[in-house]
Structure 1
Amino acid sequence: MADAADDVATRRFRALDLRVETKPDLTPVSDADRMVEEILRNTLKRARPRDAVHGEEYGRTGYGPRCWVIDPIDATKNYVRGVPVWATLIALMEGDDPVVGLVSAPALNRRWWAARGGGAWTGRSLAKATRCRVSGVTDLHDASFSFSSLTGWEEQRRLEGFLDLTRSVWRTRAFGDFWSHVMVAEGVMDVSAEPEVSLWDVAALQVIVEEAGGVFTDLAGVPTADGGSVVCTNGLLHAAVLDKLGGGPVMRRV
């Protein structure tokens, strides 16, 4: 599925005839977003007809405890401007728990994936993959923090806590979207956070971060992909990060 998504999205990337519209929530959507999701849905309809599918562009179809969650192009704003930081996100959830996650970023020539209990990996193929492991940084003053933008924190009335965190860490960078979180899984960043996300933005990322040894929660400290916000860390820094952002106690997975 990721190969098919990469093929379509790459061919439409920077295309002169790329069609971009504004959705009711005022976010952009391109013809590539819709094409990728349609291809993935068609594949799943043939291969897993009993599973539900929940995608950003076409909502949820089907019923049952197993549900595929699709973000056809995460970081569409980057995609439509020609910035190569975008990816297709595919997750499989059993009930409320993501058990498989895959992030494919063909313009970066990178891919990340994980299965519950099987570790997190990065590479271009199963045969040429390296394991992802979070960092061992224990002090916020030595930590690298990646985020998406300032406006969301201001809209959520959490800007002061966000700025307090940025002043407490060693380094900040706005890599944004999926890239912030998979870099935490790889151990090259120590903290990532977004104040407002949807299920399809982070379902694939939760299992990748957790299988790499990290902690993934919402701002209330709950380990869920459906909490409307996300904080990822190497685990060692999580309580301190939530404290700075005004979040709740860390509720680790059992």
Structure 2
Amino acid sequence: MVDQEREEYLSFAMKLARAAERKIMPHFRRCAVSIKPDGTEVTAADREAEEAIRERLVDRYPDHDILGEEFGQGGIAGAARQWLVDPLDGTASFTLGIPLFGTLIALLEEGDPVVGVIHMPAIKETLFAARGGGCWYQEGDQEPVRVRVDPVTSLDEAYVATGGLHGSEVEHEEGQPPYKILDLVRAASRFRFVTDCLQHGLVCRGRLHVAVDTLMAPWDIGALVPCVEEAGGIVSNLTGQRENVAFGGSLISSASQELHEQALKTLQP
């Protein structure tokens, strides 16, 4: 059972996601794009949405830490509670007019994600979870429904997705042994490229069985972890480590422990 304090944090995180939506959607399909020093895209929507989230967090929880994609660390560094904020996960999709982008908001306690919200404003879908309270899916203004993974245990029966090929045999990172994404494709029952946070949400809902991201920042990961685990799934980075997973640099979500182990073994260089 989720405790009252985490319920309050989750409720506030949902309000933050809605506040971000009000900043993001007026820019959808009508925004200018800039390129950050790391080569990734950014828009006014990214920045305005994170500013809106940060202002509310600082006002409500001035003793908490904040780490966001656009403005880095803020709040109280080293605090026991830290918020991870990706105001617009899937900026590339957003700039192309593809409606499969989302806002990710997570709360960590002593480094472990305990609250997560995945809000996709253009398609009006939200997944949310607090540790001990299950994972819930809401479409538009309908009543939320509890969701669970489809506990497939064999890779040859699994629907598998990845958000890209970075660090794989196809898009090899110099100096690093490549993950065997193509072997995973061959071993799966069915494979799809599914953009950004959407694929991990589909694992929560039992539509996919494995979702793989080979390169992720903490703000990409934090919100996904409580949702997948509260839906009955398994998460780790691509070396199989669950500890400190939000800072593990990659993420794999699976519908069962057996499937997780098979997928990890298949992916290893």
Q: Into which bin does the TM-score normalised by the smaller protein fall?
A: over 0.9
Q: Please state how far the C-alpha of 1:171 moved relative to its aligned partner.
A: 0.5
- Rate the CA distance shift 1:50–1:160 in 2: closer, same or farther, 3 A: closer
Match of 1:68 among 75, 83, 88: 83
Partner of 1:91: 106
Give 5+ residue unaligned stretches, structure 1. Answer: 248-254
Match of 1:147 among 162, 167, 171: 162
* Mapped partners of 1:87, 1:13: distance in 2: 12
SS in structure 2 at match of 1:244: helix
1:46 aligns with 2:59: yes
Partner of 1:251: none
* Mapped partners of 1:195, 1:151: distance in 2: 6
- Rate the CA distance shift 1:158–1:192 in 2: closer, same or farther, 3 A: farther
Partner of 2:249: 228
Greater length-normalized contact order (CA 8 Å, ≥ 6 residues apart): 2
Partner of 2:263: 241
* Mapped partners of 1:108, 1:126: distance in 2: 12
* Mapped partners of 1:36, 1:155: distance in 2: 33
Write the mapping of 1:88-237 to structure 2, written as runs, cut at 5 A. Answer: 88-124=103-139, 128-153=143-168, 154-156=171-173, 159=178, 161-223=180-242, 224-235=245-256, 236-237=258-259
Provide, for residues 73-115 of structure 1, a one-character-per-residue CA deviation record: whole Å limited to 9, x for no partner: 0000000110100000000011210110001101111000000
What is the number of equivalent residue pairs in this alignment?
245
Q: Is the 8 A contact 1:158 1:245 kept in 2?
A: no
- Rate the CA distance shift 1:126–1:12 in 2: closer, same or farther, 3 A: closer
* Mapped partners of 1:158, 1:237: distance in 2: 23
Q: Please state how far the C-alpha of 1:155 moved relative to its aligned partner.
A: 2.5
SS in structure 2 at match of 1:108: coil
Q: Which amino acid aligns with 1:50?
A: D
Instruction: Give the TM-score normalised by structure 2.
Output: 0.87
Instruction: Give the TM-score normalised by structure 1.
Output: 0.92
Give 5+ residue unaligned stretches, structure 2. Answer: 1-15
Q: Which moved more, 1:231-240 or 1:122-131?
A: 122-131
Give the % identical residues. 38
* Mapped partners of 1:193, 1:172: distance in 2: 11
Q: Is the 8 A contact 2:34 2:41 kept in 1?
A: yes
* Mapped partners of 1:210, 1:10: distance in 2: 30
SS in structure 1 at match of 2:223: helix
* Mapped partners of 1:173, 1:197: distance in 2: 19
* Mapped partners of 2:192, 2:239: distance in 1: 23
